[in-house]
């Protein structure tokens, strides 16, 4: 038989009596320090502690002078697949273009314009392969604020966001799909503004949960 979970006050750490926990109203009361709070927040905090006990694969956490850095890298297998596809696609396209370049045809300009989308696809797939093999997503966290970097080496995009004390940090469905599967995103509520959203590129569910739990811990 599973032992009941002991709930403690988030302020003073004193045990909470069951009669002081109102699940329906989402309220807790600590008689030791007269503190009130949300039952859902207390449960979330306990879940986050369990999530943060295990570091997901392809993720590294280290302390730096700039703050706590959390780095996630994609699977190399995906990168090699995209690289193989890019080499095959671009190679076939180059052979076709060079073989037809010496022939004079009516409407050659229209034919060249026709191949532009195929060339762009080749460039895009090759860029995706490079990012999957050598790219990274790094979160630099400090109490109350964070910075997201996505790119290769030091070349990429940096976005700053806030981690307010009572900000809601959730994992939600995104508008993107992959192989008929809805991709999830991490949503960080921003004070008086549009929520900061990211994380659709994180393939593993446990990795997304780890990042969300860490962000909740860094709220200030």
pLDDT of 214 reads 94
pTM over 0.75: no
Residue the block writes with tokens 């320090």 = 33
Coil/strand/helix, residue 29? strand
Least confident interval from 83-92, 124-133, 198-207: 124-133
Which of 190, 82, 110, 184 has its CA nearest to residue 146? Answer: 190
Q: Do residues 11 and 33 make contact, with C-beta atoms less than 8 angstroms apart? A: yes
Instruction: Convert the pLDDT of each residue in 4-52 to its tens digit.
Output: 556 777 667 777 778 778 777 767 788 888 777 777 666 677 788 888 9
């Amino acid at each position: 038989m599973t032992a009941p979970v002991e709930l403690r006050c988030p302020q003073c750490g004193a045990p909470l009596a069951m009669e002081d926990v109102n699940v329906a109203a989402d309220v807790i009361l600590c008689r030791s320090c007269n503190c009130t709070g949300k039952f859902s927040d207390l449960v979330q905090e306990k879940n986050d502690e369990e999530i943060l006990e295990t570091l997901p694969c392809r993720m590294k956490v280290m302390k730096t002078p700039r703050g706590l850095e959390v780095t996630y890298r994609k699977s190399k297998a995906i990168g090699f697949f995209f690289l193989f596809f890019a080499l095959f696609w671009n190679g076939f396209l180059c052979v076709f273009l060079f073989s037809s370049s010496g022939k004079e045809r009516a409407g050659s300009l229209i034919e060249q314009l026709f191949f532009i989308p195929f060339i762009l696809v080749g460039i895009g797939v090759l860029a995706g392969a490079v990012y999957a093999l050598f790219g990274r997503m790094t979160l630099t966290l400090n109490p109350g604020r964070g910075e997201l970097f996505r790119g290769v080496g030091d070349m990429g995009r940096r976005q700053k966001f806030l981690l307010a004390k009572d900000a809601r940090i959730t994992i939600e469905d995104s508008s993107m799909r992959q192989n008929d599967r809805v991709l999830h995103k991490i949503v960080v509520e921003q004070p008086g503004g549009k929520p900061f959203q990211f994380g659709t590129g994180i393939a593993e569910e446990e990795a997304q949960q780890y990042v969300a739990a860490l962000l909740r811990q860094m709220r200030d």
